[in-house]
Amino acid sequence: MPLTAVAFFVAALLFYYRGVYTAPAIPAPSPYDIQSPVLEYAAPAPELSKAAHGRAVVFDASHRNRFSPREISVLTSQIASRGYTVQIAGNFSSLSTAEHTKILESALREANSLVVISPNAAYTPEEVTLVRQFVERGGRLLLIGDPTRENQINSLADAFGIYFRSDYLYSLSDYQLNYQYIRIRDFRPDEITQGLQQISLYSASSIISDGPGLAVASDITRSSLVHQPGPYYPLVRSAAGQVVAISDSTFMVPPQDKVADNGRLVSNLASYLTQPSRRYTLSDFPEFFQGDPQVLLAQPELFADGRKLQGILTDLGVVSQMRGTEDPSRDMVFLGLFEDAPRVAQYLEPAGVRIGTHVTTPAGAFPRQEMAVLVLYRSQGRHVLVGLADTPDILSNLVDSLRPNSDFRQGVVDELVGVYPR
Amino acid sequence: MGKLAELGRQVTRWYIALPVSVAAGIALGAFVFFKIYPGQPQIGIIDIPYTVINDDSAYTIGAYLDYARDNDQIKAVVIRLNSPGGGAAASEKLYLQTRSVREKKPVVIVMTDIVASGGYMMSMGASYTYAKGSSLVGSVGVILSYPGPLLPDAPLEDVLVTGPSKLTGGSRQDWTVLLEELKQGFAQIVLTERGSKLQMAPEELMQARLYSGIEAVKLGMVDSIGDDAAGRAKAASLAGISSYGEVDVNIEVARIFVQKSRRVFALNDQEELPAFSSGSTNGQIPAETPLVSSLSDPASLRRLLLKDGRKGAESQSLPGLPLNAGLPNVYYLYVGPAQ
């Protein structure tokens, strides 16, 4: 019986169990095999010494722009270090179309450059025209998009031959911390890319432009739209160099500004924004004045008008000085009657204005009786505003029309001349 | 007496003694084999219908895996898996537990609709994997729902902390580093477990794409195309068993659970227990659910025992702090294009 029992047991064992399971010899993953990525910080770019220009770099915040002042602090400090003021136009909230158009129009008058970051409200055709005119007059425009922040930047960028694509660039093998944080090493020589060896962008889209691409992503970088090699440009320059566009706003936010040459790029952008390239027009009064302009009167009888003009300039944030003789190194306002025109002929002729029996202007000839004209002269950064009238009373009215919220711009007939018949 | 002696003589005759002895031997052998050791081999069947892996569902699935591993009658395990993944730690727990079962007995995973991200991580602990041609497989990657603000918040006036990262856990860069480490860790699990079977570059794997079962087999992410029967056959083959029985692990664990619940709550034996809903994993039990009914869901029972646990952290401020405690926010999860 024991033999039979053993035999049955063995038979059953062989019937049911025909092999032995051996667990696979796969080693357990070890945490020590994982390489933790490390950030490579670089020294920040030095800030330049101050030089008083009194000009402004305007950051648009009237189109529900998606950035905070803290995020642009590195760029604004670089701008300030170059003697420019930083103006945030708007309060980031929802505004009516009329409101943000008015804010933009006002801000552009005093701006040397305009920075637009991730606007979440579209620019109206009227606003696009304003910005285009601003750029045509030498104003510089920096467009900053960001694929992680929903925006309508193309409503403005389109006007300058620039289009931010709705993708993001990535690399699965050459990145910093995350596959969306791409490294850029290929730059086109330009003032914006001067001194750059490598920058890191933190979720950047590709930009299509009719101008040159200043930075091109490596050939292993892909677009999330097509997952194919490029070339892809996250940094471009267009509109005869007056417009620069970059598709990431995070690269300048601390501490990313200290990664690779990002700080240098911020510094280059600040230099770009603070080059005095803007051509001001008469409509930009009084923003075209630099420093403290002098007020020169053609006749002592006009003293009261001179003081009134000084008060108006003070209300507009410009400090002026009454002078008896002209200092050709400084900006100036000249007030006189038509009979004083020969004293300022050198300022009138470039604007196409002659005073004779008629007042000849680019808009036509007008009888000089009960007339007044405003003429802006600009040369090599110096601006002279000449106000001439038929009589002291009419000159006084002309000065009054320069008050804030007054209507002198209604008489402007071209960039440099305003005509004011009674 | 004489009759008894005659019977004894008859019994000791060979043509009677032999069959009786053989029969007794067979009976003894059968008793030892089937009742003592090792018994008819069993394949444990674990069913995981569509489940987002979280703390609760991982607890339940973990109980299934523990049962399958510790039950000596179960010689192989087949897991029917349908999961888009879920919480990172919960998913990794299931991977490690599956791997632990594999150390003792073969584990075959049969993928159904979707086995993605954390679900795919779990499948890496198996001995062999099957998918349907139409299964969705892959999405190897990590989601971090809170990478931290671009700039650190200003210090609080009414709360004191002992370090700059105490409130946030670290800067945005620190969180991004953490994310990258987890991604590499996930990739390492796949690369190690699949080894030379994997026919794709790590960069392609890190695309986090979903693949069809057909493509996943071609790329070596899954071993073969097959259904439950194939899974059982493969499990039996790997374990070296035949003529096996099957154990519904979900039911067995539910039975044990309900028995324990009766003891814990001293339920009346006459009180009727509800049917156990295997695979119920969402863990959301309405507040008015009767106690007995709530026993059908292990998550609700755990919440009864730890009722101010996670649910409280979701909605209530901590005493004296104006802050809500944050939930874990790292996921091995495929969330779908709608997200």
- Model pLDDT for residues A211-251, shown as the tens digit of each residue: 889 999 999 999 999 888 889 999 999 988 899 999 999 99
List per-residue pLDDT tens for chain B, 339 residues long: 678 888 777 767 778 778 888 888 888 888 888 888 788 999 999 999 999 999 889 999 999 999 999 999 999 999 999 999 999 999 999 999 999 999 999 999 999 999 999 999 999 999 999 999 999 999 999 999 877 778 877 777 888 888 888 888 888 888 899 999 999 999 999 999 999 999 999 999 999 999 999 999 999 999 999 999 999 999 999 999 999 999 999 999 988 888 887 777 777 666 665 544 444 444 343 444 444 455 556 566 555 555 444 444 444 555 555 555 565 488 999 988 764
Average pLDDT, chain A: 90
Inter-chain contacts counted by CB atoms under 8 A, chains A and B: 122
Q: DSSP letter for A398, please.
A: H
Q: Between residues A143 and B25, which one has the greater pLDDT?
A: A143
A31 contacts in chain B (CB < 8 Å): 185
A20 contacts in chain B (CB < 8 Å): 240
Is A226 in CB contact (< 8 Å) with chain B? no
Q: Between residues B63 and A8, which one has the greater pLDDT?
A: B63
Contact A186, A172 (CB under 8 A): no
Which residues 6+ apart lie within 8 Å of B158 measured at CB?
B322
pLDDT at A52 over 50: no
Is A43 in CB contact (< 8 Å) with chain B? no
Distances (CA, A) of B198 to A30, A142, B54, B88: 19, 47, 28, 23
The alpha-carbon gap from B329 to the nearest alpha carbon of chain A, in Å, equals 18
Q: Which of A15, A34, A253 sits opposite B242 (nearest CB)?
A: A15
Q: How far apart are CA A231 and CA A207, in angstroms?
A: 10
Put simply, the chain B residues between 101 and 120 with a CB less than 8 A from any chain A CB are: 102-106
pLDDT given for residue B307 in this prediction: 45
| CB spacing of A21 vs B192 below 8 angstroms | no
Distances (CA, A) of A326 to A221, A295, A296: 61, 9, 7
Distance of CA A218 to the CA centre of its chain: 27
Q: Quick one: CA dihedral A206, A212, A214, A216, positive or negative?
A: positive
In terms of Cα–Cα distance, which of B104, B131, B113 is closest to B44? B104
In terms of Cα–Cα distance, which of B248, B257, B252 is closest to B47? B248
Q: How far apart are CA A18 and CA B243, in angstroms?
A: 11
Question: Mutation test of the interface with chain B: which of A9, A226, A250, choosing the one with the most B Cβ atoms within 10 A?
Answer: A9
The string of pLDDT tens digits covering residues A15-40 is 888 888 988 888 888 888 888 787 77
| CB spacing of B181 vs A18 below 8 angstroms | no
Residue with tokens 């227990």: B273
* Candidate from A165-179, A333-347, B160-174, B175-189 with smallest mean pLDDT: B160-174
Q: Quick one: CA dihedral B18, B24, B25, B26, positive or negative?
A: positive
Q: DSSP letter for A126, please.
A: H
In terms of CATH, what superfamily is B39-303+324-333?
A: 2-enoyl-CoA Hydratase; Chain A, domain 1 (3.90.226.10)
The alpha-carbon gap from B50 to the nearest alpha carbon of chain A, in Å, equals 28
Which residues 6+ apart lie within 8 Å of B24 measured at CB?
A1, A4, A5
pLDDT given for residue B190 in this prediction: 97
| CB spacing of B103 vs A23 below 8 angstroms | yes
| CB spacing of B240 vs A18 below 8 angstroms | yes
Contact B81, B110 (CB under 8 A): yes
pLDDT given for residue B59 in this prediction: 93
Angle at which helices B298-305 and B55-70 cross, to 10°: 110
Which residues 6+ apart lie within 8 Å of B236 measured at CB?
B41, B43, B76, B242, B244
Q: How far apart are CA A155 and CA A143, in angstroms?
A: 11
The string of pLDDT tens digits covering residues A356-394 is 888 999 888 888 888 999 999 988 878 999 999 999 999
Which residues 6+ apart lie within 8 Å of B163 measured at CB?
none
The string of pLDDT tens digits covering residues A62-103 is 999 999 999 999 999 999 999 899 999 998 888 888 888 999
In terms of Cα–Cα distance, which of B217, B72, B206 is closest to B133? B217
The alpha-carbon gap from B35 to the nearest alpha carbon of chain A, in Å, equals 12
Is A254 in CB contact (< 8 Å) with chain B? yes
pLDDT given for residue B287 in this prediction: 41
pLDDT at A292 over 70: yes
Pairing of strands B128-131, B85-87: unpaired
The string of pLDDT tens digits covering residues A100-109 is 899 999 889 8
pLDDT at A49 over 80: no
Which residues 6+ apart lie within 8 Å of B85 measured at CB?
B52, B53, B91, B116, B117, B118, B119, B120, B121, B139, B331, B332, B333, B334
Q: How far apart are CA B178 and CA B198, in angstroms?
A: 26
Q: Which of B76, B127, B242 sits opposite A18 (nearest CB)?
A: B242
The alpha-carbon gap from A217 to the nearest alpha carbon of chain B, in Å, equals 18
Distances (CA, A) of B305 to B255, B295, B299: 19, 12, 10
B95 contacts in chain A (CB < 8 Å): none
Taking CA atoms, what residue in A is nearest to B42? Answer: A16
Q: How far apart are CA B108 and CA B92, in angstroms?
A: 18
pLDDT given for residue B263 in this prediction: 78
Taking CA atoms, what residue in B is nearest to A70? Answer: B151
- Phi, psi torsion values for B174, nearest 5 degrees: -60, -40
Q: Between residues A275 and B270, which one has the greater pLDDT?
A: A275
In chain B, domain spans: 39-303+324-333
Q: How far apart are CA A343 and CA A346, in angstroms?
A: 8
Which residues 6+ apart lie within 8 Å of B19 measured at CB?
none
